[in-house]
Chains A and B, each alone.
Chain A
Amino acid sequence: MTADSSRRRRLAPLAAFALLGIFGALRLPFETRLDAEHRAAGFRPARLGLDLRERLGQAGFLAALSGCRAVVADVLCLQASTAWERVEWGRMNWLFQTATALAPRAVFIWDMAGWHMGYNASRAAREDSRQPREALRIKAEREYLQLARDFLERGIANNPAEPRLREQLGTLLRDKLRDPLAASQAFDAAAALPGARAYLKRFAAYCLAQVPGKEREAHSRLRALYDLGPQEHLPSVLRDLKHLEEKLSLPPEQRIYKAP
């Protein structure tokens, strides 16, 4: 009797684990379905592969795995910000690549990475006094600009409903990559999203006005904005309308600016 109860006591943990196994098998189908639902709703987008393990180190990888991915990504952002202050562009790029891989839904990290690459790193490369050959300076500048565009486009792919990154891409295409058509399309795409800033429609039209062959479309869009009322009669709207009216040689009745 005593031996029997002693054996029962020894076997109890094993039986408990067997119980866990049975219930584990029961929960798996539900868990698999729920995991698919989580991913469809935008949760756990980051794949924590071994490449990230190498980039983050043991402690960072463990922290990222243990539900602190966003915190680890923020720490990397802080380090990237320090790398920017120290003009370590390669390290800054590497840190942003890792941070965005960890937290692909964090819009501000994509935005920050695009900004630093597109404006600070590219400018520094163009003005690099250690590089006497201008062609190589321009090449380095273009590489950083391409990196900035790549960050922003990947950010948009991960956060399609977010206007901030499309606006940033439009600004980069307009000011740095000198592609007004692509910039106009980026501003248009941003303006169509909820939460977009009101000026984006104007920005799209301004950029379109600079595209050869798109003057008529640009004019009609600016005119539509103008017709919305005095709040849209901004100096830049009036300036571009005047320029387009002259370029398109519009008849006086279609002009806002009448010939004196």
Chain B
Amino acid sequence: MDRAPRHRVFSPGRILAIAGNALTELTRQKVFYFLLLFALLLIGSSVLLVRFSFQDQFQMLKDLSLGAMSVFSTLLAILATASMLPKDTEDRTLYTILAKPVPRFEYLLGKFLGAAGLLALSLLLMGVVFAVVLVLRERTAEAEILAESAGFGADATAARLAELRATVFNPNLFAGGVAIYLKACVLAALTLFFSTFATSSIFTVLITAMTYFIGHFQATAREYWQAEAGGSVLSRIFLGLVSILFPDLQMFNLVDEIAAGTAVPAGLLARTAILGAFYVVIYLMAAQFVFAQKEL
């Protein structure tokens, strides 16, 4: 008689199966239609930017692309993750999974990894669209330079072309993508945590959106209140509580300066990634804390 395989308390295989399923489910919701919007935004912006020099055009194109990537990934992180648990509850998939010997933390981790996979995929696709638009625009600018430089020397033309290439491609843009991904992952984990005790998807989205704004505003508010209130005990207690309970999302806002050409040292990016991973782990732990007690 065959012996049944021993049940493992923690199984990466089970987690990956749940993650793969979550990713498939999310992909089926046609979330990638936003790519069309992203591409239209980039192509449409070219019409607005023709009045500027090619250097300024590329700078604005980079600002706009990274800004749009940040906004789309934030929306995707919140909206996609907020619908995960309610949808599984509604179509009873949650009960089917948890009726099997699948620990609840594996389920949550799998769901988070599915959302993180979706975010990585969408950022990758947006990055490809961005790169294609940059290359196409670079070709046009090159042709313009060559046409304008007919009467100039070969050295001057080569120098202008080199300047153009230096303006267009900046390896730090990858670091910008990483920073956007980190923030999106933190938001996905936070949304998952809220959805473990939320009564509806709308509540989850609203509370995450509020946390998103507080998370971006808290550093500014801290500076302002400390200057205005002179650091009174009451204001310090309040600010301390806000700092402790809410994430400081400005820590992941590196794209504005990256687009402007500021280099990110690898060590700094690694430490920012560690902070992002720390937030994710904490929010997943908190989510597990609530989800483990939840009556299903």
Residues on A facing B (Cβ under 8 Å):
5, 8-9, 12-13, 15-17, 19-21, 23-25, 27-28, 30-31, 34-35, 37-38, 41-45, 47-50, 62, 65-71, 73-74, 77-78, 81, 103, 105-108, 112, 195, 197-198
Contact = CB atoms under 8 A, between A and B. Distances in A.
B282 A30 contact: no
A10 B175 CA distance: 42
A207 B143 CA distance: 35
Interface residues of B, number: 65
Given A38-B268, A43-B257, A50-B224, A65 B213 contact: yes
Nearest to A111: B56
Given A12-B294, A28-B244, A107-B261, A19 B285 contact: yes
B257 A105 contact: yes
A206 B295 CA distance: 82
Interface in B55-103: 55-56, 59-60, 63-64, 66-68, 70-71, 74
B293 A9 contact: yes
Contacts, number: 152
B259 A31 contact: no
4 smallest CB-CB distances across A and B, nearest first, come from A24-B244, A71-B67, A70-B63, A12-B293
Given A19-B289, A44-B250, A66 B213 contact: yes
B286 A67 contact: no
Contact of B251 (A21, A35, A50, A74): A35
Given A9-B294, A12-B293, A66 B197 contact: no
B8 interface: no
Interface of B: 48, 51-52, 55-56, 59-60, 63-64, 66-68, 70-71, 74, 159, 166, 183, 193, 197, 212-213, 216-217, 219-220, 223-224, 243-245, 248-257, 259-265, 268, 271-272, 275, 278-279, 282-283, 285-287, 289-290, 292-295
Nearest to B287: A16
18 contacts: A8-B293, A9-B294, A13-B197, A13-B290, A19-B285, A24-B245, A31-B251, A34-B268, A43-B262, A49-B224, A67-B74, A67-B256, A68-B70, A68-B256, A70-B67, A70-B255, A103-B256, A105-B261
